[in-house]
Structure 1
Amino acid sequence: MDRRPRDARLRQVGTSRAGLPLRLLSVGHGSRQVLVVAGPHANEPVGGATVLRLAERVLADPRLCDGADVTWNLLLCLDPDGSRRNEGWLSGPYTLGHHFRHFFRPGFMEQPEWLPDGAEGATLPETRTLLALQDELRPFLQCSLHGVDVGGGFVELTRDLPGLAPRLAHIATRLDIPLERGPYDTLYWPTLGPAVYRIPPPRRGDLAAAITEAAVESTWFHPHPYGTVTAVVEAPMWGVTAVQDASVPADAEETLRGVSRTLRRDTALLEELLARIRPYLGTAGDVDRLLAPVDDYVLVCPGLADSWDPDTGPGTDVDGGARPLPPLTTARLTALRISARRIALRTAGLLHQLVTASGHDPSGATADLDRLVDAWCADYHDGHGARWIPVARQAEYQARVVLAAFDLARRPDPASGRGARPLGAPPVRTEVPFE
């Protein structure tokens, strides 16, 4: 920005609940807008590195901004308050145990991308800031930068971008990033190509459905009337090879029964620990912030276990209709096993922080929580082969996927005229050398 003050401008566009500034970095002077949102989930920090990498690329390549009549708008962090609570693990060591013992993600009602009461009912200042930016910019492309703690990369779209799946596969192969062929997040969503999924339009449901399926209005869909395509770009921190295995295992149903049994058992252990801990926590504001996601996780676990268990029948959709699970590939079963373990580990990590913050542990819960966290992290390592992906490679992968989505979104759409680019403009080169 200091080198190119005319082409890169930084402005404050809002303020967080704790008074931290929400800053937007705009690069270029084109009439058409791209909006990239980093840090929508507090525990997924890679987007902060990705937007800086994107700014450097855009400044270095005129075809990405002024040559395409485009301005890039990079929101540096949507939830700085929550992100600050993850600082305990951000500097390393990058071990699963260290990560989950310092993990924080706010309760569902405090996550700024969701609009459970619609845009008019949005109360979080971070949410109102993002909505105002979307209405001001009316971007043809919005990218929301997310991270997967354990698993693989994938992309969710509000509109199809034909050709994205092969580009995604090429990028992932070059950078040795596993792609999820059946992520838990998209369990019931249409597939547009390998590791690319269509986000269904929002619909009303109960809180459990909103938490587990994003079955609620969101800032992903708010700019939809402007012709915006939103791409949610997920980059993994610890990669697992089996999430891309599309083979069909012979013992799929028995494996699924085991996943459900394990989730029920782990939930019972955590509920017992919560009952032991809660009387000693007090009512300080920090306790409430840590308890909110714990209560969310405990709320959804029984329903998840029942919906996955072949012996308890198919799941139900938000309208009350029967909804069987999609075909059970190795990738999907792996994703479900990882997700069940993830919910338990996050809950255990938050309970560990609650006990630590209370300053005393008369119930002796700390040792039990340490034992559970260590055992469950070992399952990720030994049972799934989870491997750390260096931060630079996570950010490079995510930046290349954003640039691929940009190249496809700016092309002419015969049906709407959306995304037209100058006649004869060459495709954007996304395969830059990896540093």
Structure 2
Amino acid sequence: MTHDPLLSLAQRLPAIQGFPTVDELRADLLSLQKAHPDRIAHAVLGRSRLDEPIDHFTIGDGPLQVVIAGGVHPNEPIGFRTVQQLVRLLLEAPELADLAATWHIVPCADPDGARLNESWFASADRAAYFEGFYRPAPGEQVEWSFPFEYKEAWFDHPIPETRALMALFDRVRPDVFVGLHNAEFGGVYFYLNQDDATLARELRDLPAAFGLPLDVGEPEMDGLVRLDDAVFRAPLARERYDHREARGLPPETRSGGAGTADYLERYGTTTMIAELPYWTHPDAADTTPTDRLYRDVVAEKADSLDELHVLLQRILDAARPSLTIDSPFRRASEAFVPGMGQAATAERARLGDPALNRPATVAEVFGNREVARTFRLRFGGILRRALAAEVDAGVARGPVRAASAEIDAAFWAWLAAEGDTELVPAPVEALVGVQLAAVLATVRRRRG
């Protein structure tokens, strides 16, 4: 394999433990800016709904405009470490000057949401992760609250954090944008908004250089366009709408807006997303056929999601008349609990596709099973936090206490079943290395 100096930079990262809190991340980058005021500019791009600063650091003065945003989903902090390492490389590695870029770095786009996840940032323990997990309702996510108007769908109330990014995008008209995302389990996969076979191939090969598996099992969305193994074209919101319509499904008209790729389409921006797992499993990369029909595997997932929806909806409905706190957890539950039923319906809409009448691969069996297991802990955990907030505040009436006890018992039973997952925590430096290498490869490719 030809020596790649940019890949070598990403492979030389020190061992990294856990993820920084919002305050730790900000303090670290501000200290670097104060130590290098001639190299790093700092501004406050905007403020969050709870009046937290949204920082913007600028490095370099090249013609290529690159925007990097961390924490666009607040339960995805791998990007916090990637930002820390990227800033240091931009200061220390002369090779990066050849990219001729101006780097606009937004370390944490949603500080309010990130703070609600900080309890698990220092640990790779899955129990701690799901106990402290929070993901906003779609309309409150930075990634999915850009304006959107298409057919019967309409969304035009982006949150302040999203408006801050929109203002930056409009000002610099990025050549490259990378939102620093991550997944949870299995292997690595990527999204690109352009059909670039050369870059797709380069991204595909990166995880192996860091000892991480590709995820070649079930994509997280049906109908994705595959550019290479574990590399997909980033779907636009209108394309997702049309795909659901073609499946005979109702449009998702109340689940949020468009994404960053949609908004940046007007500027011809190259958008790349590297999805990294906290926990890996070799099955994620195993394309060996099994003795199970793919159709049956998908049907089983649909049944699991339906079962989860029925349970969570019953608990939420029983508690709702007595709920008094409009917490982020409650708003997320009001979106994600019915969303489980909608997800089950969407999976069932696939079952008539003749392409599913084939043996499922090991990776597909693994991915479908783990999605169902993960969703019950994710969204059951958020509902648990919503009800616990009422109990802990001393305002819970009897129905809320009963609902809280029921979801608590279910949550711990689900966690007890986690012992047979055989998922292994991935080294943080490897995850950061892949994300960093993917960023550099994308910028280099756009530079030409």
1:263–1:232 CA distance, 2 compared to 1 (3 A): same
Q: Does 1:342 align with 2:374?
A: yes
Farther-moved stretch of structure 1 (217-226 vs 145-154): 217-226
Residue 45 of structure 1 deviates from its aligned partner by: 1.1
- Kept in 1, the 8 Å contact 2:99–2:443? The answer is no
**In percent, how many aligned pairs have the same letter?**
29
Q: Does 1:28 align with 2:69?
A: no
1:19–1:208 CA distance, 2 compared to 1 (3 A): farther
Structure 1 partner of 2:9: none
Residue 290 of structure 1 deviates from its aligned partner by: 1.2
1:14–1:87 CA distance, 2 compared to 1 (3 A): same
Structure 1 partner of 2:138: 108
RMSD: 2.9
CA distance in 2, matches of 1:311, 1:161: 28
1:244–1:216 CA distance, 2 compared to 1 (3 A): farther
Q: Does 1:220 align with 2:261?
A: yes
CA distance in 2, matches of 1:248, 1:69: 46
Aligned to 2:289, the other structure's residue is in SS state coil
Which amino acid in structure 2 is aligned with residue 357 of structure 1? A
- Kept in 2, the 8 Å contact 1:107–1:293? The answer is yes
- Relative to total residues, which structure has the larger helix share, 1 or 2? 2
Specify which of 420, 423, 426 is matched with residue 389 of structure 1: 426
Q: Does 1:274 align with 2:274?
A: no
CA distance in 2, matches of 1:87, 1:215: 25
1:367–1:95 CA distance, 2 compared to 1 (3 A): farther
CA distance in 2, matches of 1:215, 1:356: 26
When the two structures are superposed, what TM-score results if normalisation uses the length of structure 1? 0.82
Specify which of 300, 308, 330 is matched with residue 258 of structure 1: 300
CA distance in 1, matches of 2:177, 2:350: 41
Which amino acid in structure 2 is aligned with residue 135 of structure 1? D
Aligned to 2:179, the other structure's residue is in SS state strand
- Kept in 1, the 8 Å contact 2:139–2:257? The answer is no
Aligned to 1:35, the other structure's residue is in SS state strand
Residue 215 of structure 1 deviates from its aligned partner by: 9.7
Which amino acid in structure 1 is aligned with residue 86 of structure 2? L
1:68–1:147 CA distance, 2 compared to 1 (3 A): closer
Structure 1 partner of 2:441: 404
Matches within 5 A, 1:16-415: 16-65=48-97, 67-92=98-123, 94-115=124-145, 117-118=147-148, 121-203=156-238, 205=241, 210=252, 217-252=258-293, 253-282=295-324, 284-286=325-327, 289-309=328-348, 313-314=352-353, 328-359=360-391, 360=396, 362=398, 363-382=401-420, 384-411=421-448
CA distance in 1, matches of 2:437, 2:357: 30
Which amino acid in structure 2 is aligned with residue 301 of structure 1? M
Residue 3 of structure 1 deviates from its aligned partner by: 3.5
Farther-moved stretch of structure 1 (215-224 vs 192-201): 215-224
CA distance in 2, matches of 1:241, 1:86: 27
Which amino acid in structure 1 is aligned with residue 119 of structure 2? G
CA distance in 1, matches of 2:379, 2:436: 31
CA distance in 1, matches of 2:172, 2:349: 47
1:221–1:8 CA distance, 2 compared to 1 (3 A): same
Aligned to 2:273, the other structure's residue is in SS state strand
Which amino acid in structure 2 is aligned with residue 41 of structure 1? H
1:116–1:145 CA distance, 2 compared to 1 (3 A): closer
Residue 30 of structure 1 deviates from its aligned partner by: 1.0
Structure 2: gaps of 5 or more residues:
1-32, 150-154
Deviations 1:244-289 (A, max 9, x none): 222332212333332222222222222232234334432x232xx2
Structure 2 partner of 1:417: none
Deviations 1:321-363 (A, max 9, x none): xx97697433233222222222221221112212321125844
Which amino acid in structure 2 is aligned with residue 291 of structure 1? R
- Kept in 1, the 8 Å contact 2:236–2:261? The answer is no
CA distance in 1, matches of 2:145, 2:384: 30
- Kept in 2, the 8 Å contact 1:209–1:215? The answer is no
- Kept in 2, the 8 Å contact 1:208–1:300? The answer is no
Aligned to 2:291, the other structure's residue is in SS state coil
Residue 71 of structure 1 deviates from its aligned partner by: 1.0
Aligned to 1:147, the other structure's residue is in SS state coil
Residue 209 of structure 1 deviates from its aligned partner by: 5.3
Structure 1: gaps of 5 or more residues:
315-322, 412-435
1:349–1:273 CA distance, 2 compared to 1 (3 A): same
CA distance in 1, matches of 2:315, 2:309: 10
Aligned to 1:203, the other structure's residue is in SS state helix
Aligned to 1:393, the other structure's residue is in SS state helix
When the two structures are superposed, what TM-score results if normalisation uses the length of structure 2? 0.80
Deviations 1:372-424 (A, max 9, x none): 33343454441x4211123333222211221122222221xxxxxxxxxxxxx
1:296–1:342 CA distance, 2 compared to 1 (3 A): farther
